[in-house]
Structure 1
Amino acid sequence: MKNTAYRLFKKPFFGRFVRPWRWPENVEQSQWQRLTVDSLSGARISALLAAAHTAEAKGAVLLAHPMGVAAKGFWIKYGHAELLRQAGYHVMLFDLNGFGESTSTTMDYPLDVLAAGQALQAQYPALPIAVLGASMGAAMSLCALAQPDHPFKVAVLESAFPTLLHFWSRYPIPKLGIQLSKLLYPAGERSLRPTYAAQRLVGRPELLLIYGEADKFTPVKDGKLLLQALQGKIATEFWQVPGAEHTHAYAAQPKEYAEKVIGFLDRHLLEERMAS
């Protein structure tokens, strides 16, 4: 009954993205290992794991997808997963609950990120773990950093909204749902609010925030609000990307993206490996 109520509540937000999941075209599926992870959200999370292309891995990166029918396939389709593997990182892709091949339960998406991250750490216990998220995946990854026992040492977050209302205010029915949730279930709304999580981060993960100058959904000014919430709490870098639309910094500036993101991961995960 509870899950049915959540599915009805979620439909105005995500209903158009609930479609049968398909592999992106021209993918060598044999390179990917399928995993299923139990989340404290109650969902069975579908994940894909692939090894680094290098002889020795530098670390492992969890990829948290934006909203869309492609779900975890976003990272394969647009080349992020291959970029990371070529750079020496194991990668795990996963579907947030209700997306792709994961079952649909509550809206406790940070718990899905947490569960997937812990599963990735279990696969590679000797390696440092990072998370790279886009849009919804980025926002929920930041909220996961406020969860105890998260494994993330580094986070690269692109197009993360500062609050749910910042993203959904242009859509009347979702906006009303969020406003009602703030009244009826304020703790639930807070758990999905990145600016709230920013005050309560566990550990001291290194953060890189990325925002596109052509992003109409999470504009640079929204990124600056999130940066302001993080300042004084944790070391945070901010990259404003010319010409980049929502979640597409890599497509807009591929060379610069590779240098910035891989350089950030290499630098801070190396520090983590040396410290351990």
Structure 2
Amino acid sequence: MTAHAHSPSWFGIAVSKLFIRVMFRQVQGWKRDVPSRAEGFVETASDGSKLEGAVLLANPAKAKGVVLLCHPFLKYGMHYFFENGIDQAFLDQGYHVVAFNFKGFGRSTIGGHAFADDVLSIARKIAREYPGLPIHLVGCSFGGYHLSHALARDASPFTSAVLDSVPVSVRSYFTRGPLRLAMRWISGSRLAVPTGTCAIDHSLKSVHHLPIAYFYGLSDRYIPEASVARLSLDCTSLHVVGFEACRHLENHKKHRDQYFQEIFAFFARAESHKPVVTA
């Protein structure tokens, strides 16, 4: 069993679940129905969480693949992508879009202790329902942080992953108040790996043969240049793109054309190198 697959004790799981409920309360409880253009679903994750999600279909006969969107640490959860028109950009290029709320966000329940489980559970749903299509991950901030840890557990379902505005360490994001103290404690404890609070380079450096892109704003206070340099050294195959004059989560807002051009070119390169397995 690898370090990434290590399971904490029952006490560790209990502490982690309590941590999620108490410390993430500020972004939990907000609910909204999926857009009328989408089809809603509820998927039971491997840890028992009931995950609320939405599917938006491109032309089914000509679909290039499926994009799985992982949302940032905001109360809006998956609706962040709908409000910013990110889903439509992928649909326009012929990709089905799947978005979901991590456990504790929206109507998703808390059945376990690791957000990486959520990513892999939704990926398995996609693989069942859209066999043979490439699956690309796009994670913003918090969502990208936990998809990084999901890849360390199992990267096999995916064709590529794009990390947008993802702090290398949780300590860079939570810098004040009780969350800072709690994150410093848990990210330095034995619970760091199983709960996904360890730095992302800890996970990504063990992921081989999967194309991974890392987008960050050059003015993002949560992502110091030194952390990007360290990440690049630890993960030598990473495709790194810096966006001028962008703070946290501003890349797709201030440089929308460049942002999506980079993503679709990256997808195309990844698809050309990974054969699609038909059912």
Do they superpose with TM above 0.5?
Answer: yes
- 240 and 55 in structure 1: CA distance in 2 versus 1, 3 angstrom threshold: same
- Pairing 1:107-256 to 2, within 5 Å after superposition: 107-148=113-154, 150-168=156-174, 170-181=175-186, 182-183=188-189, 185-188=191-194, 192-201=198-207, 203-231=208-236, 235-256=237-258
User: How much has 1:191 moved relative to structure 2?
Assistant: 6.3
Deviations 1:86-141 (A, max 9, x none): 01101100111111221023430111111111111111111111100000101111
- 249 and 23 in structure 1: CA distance in 2 versus 1, 3 angstrom threshold: farther
CA contact (8 A) 1:220 1:240 kept: no
CA contact (8 A) 2:133 2:276 kept: no
User: How much has 1:179 moved relative to structure 2?
Assistant: 3.5
- 190 and 46 in structure 1: CA distance in 2 versus 1, 3 angstrom threshold: closer
- 40 and 152 in structure 1: CA distance in 2 versus 1, 3 angstrom threshold: same
Q: Quick one: which amino acid aligns to residue 226 of structure 1?
A: L
- 186 and 88 in structure 1: CA distance in 2 versus 1, 3 angstrom threshold: closer
- 261 and 273 in structure 1: CA distance in 2 versus 1, 3 angstrom threshold: same
User: How much has 1:258 moved relative to structure 2?
Assistant: 1.8
- Helix, strand or coil at the partner of 1:69: coil
2:31 to 10, 17, 21: 21
- Helix, strand or coil at the partner of 1:183: coil
**Counterparts of 1:257 and 1:32, CA distance in 2:** 24
- Pairing 1:2-151 to 2, within 5 Å after superposition: 6=16, 8-11=18-21, 13-23=23-33, 27=35, 29=36, 31-53=37-59, 55-148=61-154, 150-151=156-157
User: How much has 1:6 moved relative to structure 2?
Assistant: 4.3
**Counterparts of 1:158 and 1:80, CA distance in 2:** 13
2:4 corresponds to: none
- 227 and 48 in structure 1: CA distance in 2 versus 1, 3 angstrom threshold: same
**Counterparts of 1:126 and 1:242, CA distance in 2:** 37
**Counterparts of 1:136 and 1:246, CA distance in 2:** 11
- Helix, strand or coil at the partner of 1:156: strand
User: How much has 1:274 moved relative to structure 2?
Assistant: 6.6
Q: Which ranges of structure 2 fall in alignment gaps of 5 or more residues? A: 1-9
Q: Quick one: which amino acid aligns to residue 256 of structure 2?
A: P
Q: Quick one: which amino acid aligns to residue 80 of structure 1?
A: I
CA contact (8 A) 2:168 2:231 kept: yes
User: How much has 1:152 moved relative to structure 2?
Assistant: 1.1
CA contact (8 A) 1:12 1:174 kept: no
Runs of 4+ that moved beyond 6 A = 1-4
TM-score (norm 1): 0.87
> Which segment is superposed worse, 50-59 or 79-88?
50-59
- 165 and 126 in structure 1: CA distance in 2 versus 1, 3 angstrom threshold: same
1:264 to 263, 266, 270: 266
Q: Which ranges of structure 1 fall in alignment gaps of 5 or more residues? A: none
**CA RMSD of the aligned region, Å?**
2.5
**Counterparts of 1:223 and 1:158, CA distance in 2:** 13
| Equivalent residue pairs, number | 267
CA contact (8 A) 1:162 1:225 kept: no
CA contact (8 A) 1:143 1:193 kept: no
CA contact (8 A) 1:54 1:86 kept: no
- Helix, strand or coil at the partner of 1:146: helix
- 191 and 69 in structure 1: CA distance in 2 versus 1, 3 angstrom threshold: closer
CA contact (8 A) 1:72 1:93 kept: yes
**Counterparts of 2:30 and 2:179, CA distance in 1:** 23
Q: Quick one: which amino acid aligns to residue 172 of structure 2?
A: H
**Counterparts of 1:179 and 1:6, CA distance in 2:** 14
TM-score (norm 2): 0.86
CA contact (8 A) 2:51 2:108 kept: yes
- State percent identity of aligned pairs: 21
